[in-house]
C-alpha cells in the first residue's frame, strides 16, 4: 500500500502511516504566511482547513452543473440532484446508518439539535419531564433544551464531570428516571478533548426506552463512527469540522423516530401537495428540508467524506494522537501551565491556562508567531465555570499538523510568558 514519497511519520500500530508532507500539499492555505511567519494552524476544533478535493468538488458544481435539486426535468437539475443525493448516501455510509432515508441535511450540528428539540421532543414533553445532558456540553447541546424547557415546563438535568473532565457515569445513571425523556451527550468535548463513553450512556438509557442524542461535531474528523454499534437514536454532525464546507451538516435519526416527527420548518421541498385548504407533507428525509437546500455545501460534505475515507481516519487519528502526546508532554513541563481536561481518552485538543497570562493576550502574541489558536470559553461556558477559569487557550490538531509546529507554538508561549507573567 505504501506510497513512493518519504514517510515522515510512523503511526502507532498503523500499518500504513500517514504521509503528512504529501497530505499538506492538498491544503492550499497551509502555504500562506501570517505576520511574515509560516501559518501554524492549531484552531482545528473551531474549524479545520479544506483539502483541494472539497474545494474543487464545490467549484465543479458551480462551473458545470449548477441547478436546483428535485425541481427540474432538465439535465443540469438531474445532475445536481444526483450529486446531492450521492452526498446523502456518503453520510449514510460514513455513519453506517441503515438507510439514507435517515439522513437529514441541516445547517450543522446546532440546527440538527434544534430540529430534534422542536420536532421530536416538544410534542412529547409535559411539565416536570426531564432532559438529561452533561456538564461538558457545548452551547449547541444546552441552549436548545433550555429554550424547550421554558416553553414546556420541563426540567434540564446536568450529569456531573470529575476534575479530569470525565463524565461521571454512575452519577448519570442515578439521575435517570421515568421522567427522563431524552439524554443529550457530546461524543468528543471541544473544550476538554474528552472522548465520552457514548455506547455506555446508550446502554444506560436503553432499558428505560429513553432516546439518546449524540453531538458528534468534534468526533467525526477523528473517530470512525458507527451509529448502529453506538446504540444511539440521533447523531448530529457539522461538515466544517470534518474537512468539509461551513453551513452544512446532518442529522441522523432512526427511521421510526423520523417517520413519527412532524415537519419543523415549512416551505418548498418538504411538501407533496399544497392547497389553501391544506397541505400534505413529503416523505422523510425531505419533510425536514424546507426550501432550496445548501446544494454546493452538501456536495462539499460528500467530497469531504470520500476524502476522509481515502486518507484513512485511523491513520489520521494515529498521527493526531502522537501530536497530542508530544504537546501534552512538553506542556506539562512548563511551570505555571495547567492543562484543563486530562481525561484518559482524549481527542487532539489541549485547553490550558498559563499563570499571569490571560488567554486573550496569549492568543494575540502567539498569532504573531503565525500560530492560530483559540482563546475564550469555546462555546462551553459551564465547563469554564466548573474549572473556575474565565477562559482558556486551546490548541487542537488536525492530520496536517507537524511536530515542528508544536515547537513554534512553545516558542510563542515562552515569549508571552516573558512579556506578561
Partner 1 sequence: MALDRLYQQVILDHNRCPRHFGRLAGATHSARGRDGLCGDDILVELRVSEGRVKEAMFSGTACAITTASASMLMEWLAGRSAVAVEEAGERFRQLLGNASLPDDPVLGEINCLRAVGQFPARVRNARLPWQTVVKALSSKA
Positions marked active-site: 379
Q: How far apart are CA 413 and CA 354, in angstroms?
A: 9
Comparing CA positions, the residue from 372, 380, 320, 371 lying closest to residue 346 is 320
**Segment near partner 1 (CB under 8 A); pick from 107-115, 176-184, 219-227, 376-384:** 376-384
Q: Is the peptide bond before 220 cis (omega within 30 degrees of 0)?
A: no
Three cell numbers at 323?
Answer: 501530536
**Segment near partner 1 (CB under 8 A); pick from 250-258, 287-295, 357-365, 402-410:** 357-365
Three cell numbers at 187?
Answer: 461524543
> How many residues sit close enough to partner 1 to count as binding (CB under 8 A)?
17
Q: Does 389 bind partner 1 (CB under 8 A)?
A: yes
Among 381, 387, 407, 410, binds partner 1 (CB under 8 A): 381
Q: Does 358 bind partner 1 (CB under 8 A)?
A: yes
Q: Does 197 bind partner 1 (CB under 8 A)?
A: no
Q: How far apart are CA 281 and CA 288, in angstroms?
A: 10
CB 395 to partner 1: min, Å: 17
**Segment near partner 1 (CB under 8 A); pick from 10-18, 64-72, 248-256, 372-380:** 372-380
Q: Does 28 bind partner 1 (CB under 8 A)?
A: no
**Segment near partner 1 (CB under 8 A); pick from 77-85, 112-120, 202-210, 375-383:** 375-383
Is-contact 237 94, C-beta < 8 A?
no
- CA distances 77 to 64, 81, 269, Å, are 11, 6, 14
Among 82, 124, 360, 414, binds partner 1 (CB under 8 A): 360
Name which of 254 and 378 has its Cβ closer to partner 1.
Answer: 378
Q: Which residues does 321 contact at the CB level (< 8 Å), separation at least 6?
A: 12, 348
Name which of 305 and 380 has its Cβ closer to partner 1.
Answer: 380
- Site residues for partner 1, 298-317, by CB under 8 A, read none
**Segment near partner 1 (CB under 8 A); pick from 241-249, 275-283, 285-293, 368-376:** 368-376
Q: Does 404 bind partner 1 (CB under 8 A)?
A: no
Q: Which residues does 328 contact at the CB level (< 8 Å), separation at least 6?
A: 339, 350
Among 38, 197, 231, 376, binds partner 1 (CB under 8 A): 376
Three cell numbers at 119?
Answer: 420536532
Is-contact 115 141, C-beta < 8 A?
no
Q: Does 140 bind partner 1 (CB under 8 A)?
A: no
Is-contact 251 106, C-beta < 8 A?
yes
Q: Does 88 bind partner 1 (CB under 8 A)?
A: no
Q: Which helix (H) or strand (E) segment is 82 a member of?
A: helix 75-95
Other Cβ atoms less than 10 A from the Cβ of 22: the count is 14
Name which of 231 and 376 has its Cβ closer to partner 1.
Answer: 376
Task: Give 3-state DSSP helix, strand, coil % of the chain, rounded to 5.
Answer: 45, 20, 40
Burial (CB < 10 A; 0-12, 13-18, 19+), residue 358, is middle
Q: Does 44 bind partner 1 (CB under 8 A)?
A: no
Among 390, 404, 411, 414, binds partner 1 (CB under 8 A): 390
Among 226, 269, 361, 407, binds partner 1 (CB under 8 A): 361
Q: Which residues are at the interface with partner 1 (CB under 8 A)? A: 358-361, 364-365, 368, 375-377, 381, 384, 389-391, 419-420
Amino acid at each position: 500500500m505504501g506510497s513512493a514519497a518519504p514517510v515522515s511519520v510512523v503511526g502507532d500500530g498503523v500499518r500504513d502511516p500517514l504521509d503528512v508532507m504529501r497530505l499538506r500539499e492538498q491544503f492550499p492555505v497551509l502555504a500562506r504566511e501570517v505576520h511574515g511567519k509560516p501559518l501554524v494552524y492549531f484552531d482545528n476544533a473551531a474549524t479545520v482547513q479544506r483539502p483541494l478535493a472539497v474545494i474543487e468538488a464545490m467549484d465543479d458544481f458551480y462551473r458545470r452543473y449548477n441547478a436546483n435539486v428535485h425541481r427540474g426535468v432538465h439535465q443540469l437539475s438531474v445532475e445536481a440532484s444526483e450529486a446531492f443525493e450521492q452526498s446523502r448516501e456518503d453520510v449514510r455510509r460514513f455513519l453506517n446508518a441503515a438507510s439514507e432515508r435517515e439522513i437529514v441535511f441541516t445547517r450543522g450540528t446546532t440546527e440538527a439539535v434544534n430540529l430534534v428539540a422542536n420536532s421530536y421532543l416538544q410534542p412529547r414533553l409535559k411539565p416536570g419531564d426531564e432532559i438529561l445532558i452533561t456538564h461538558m456540553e457545548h452551547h449547541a447541546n444546552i441552549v436548545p433544551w433550555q429554550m424547550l424547557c421554558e416553553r414546556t415546563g420541563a426540567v434540564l438535568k446536568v450529569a456531573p464531570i470529575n476534575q479530569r473532565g470525565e463524565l461521571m457515569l454512575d452519577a448519570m445513571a442515578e439521575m435517570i428516571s421515568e421522567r427522563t425523556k431524552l439524554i443529550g451527550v457530546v461524543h468528543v468535548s471541544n473544550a476538554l478533548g474528552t472522548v465520552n463513553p457514548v455506547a455506555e450512556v446508550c446502554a444506560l438509557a436503553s432499558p428505560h426506552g429513553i432516546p439518546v442524542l449524540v453531538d458528534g461535531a468534534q468526533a467525526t474528523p477523528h473517530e470512525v463512527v458507527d451509529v448502529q454499534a453506538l446504540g444511539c437514536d440521533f447523531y448530529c454532525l457539522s461538515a466544517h469540522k470534518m474537512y468539509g464546507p461551513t453551513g452544512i451538516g446532518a442529522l441522523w435519526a432512526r427511521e421510526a423516530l423520523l417517520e413519527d416527527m412532524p415537519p419543523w420548518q415549512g416551505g418548498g421541498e418538504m411538501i407533496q401537495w399544497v392547497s389553501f385548504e391544506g397541505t400534505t407533507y413529503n416523505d422523510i428525509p425531505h419533510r425536514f428540508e424546507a426550501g432550496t437546500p445548501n446544494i454546493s455545501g452538501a456536495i462539499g460534505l460528500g467530497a469531504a467524506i470520500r476524502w476522509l475515507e481515502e486518507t484513512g481516519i485511523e491513520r489520521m487519528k494515529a498521527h493526531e494522537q502522537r501530536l497530542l502526546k508530544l504537546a501534552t508532554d512538553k506542556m506539562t513541563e512548563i511551570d505555571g501551565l495547567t492543562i484543563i481536561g486530562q481525561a484518559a481518552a482524549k481527542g487532539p485538543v489541549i485547553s490550558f491556562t498559563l499563570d499571569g497570562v490571560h488567554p486573550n493576550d496569549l492568543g494575540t502574541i502567539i498569532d504573531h508567531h503565525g500560530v492560530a489558536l483559540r482563546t475564550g470559553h469555546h462555546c462551553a461556558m459551564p465547563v469554564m465555570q466548573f474549572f473556575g477559569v474565565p477562559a482558556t487557550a486551546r490548541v487542537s490538531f488536525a492530520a496536517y499538523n507537524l511536530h515542528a509546529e508544536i515547537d513554534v507554538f512553545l516558542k510563542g508561549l515562552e515569549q508571552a510568558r516573558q512579556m506578561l507573567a
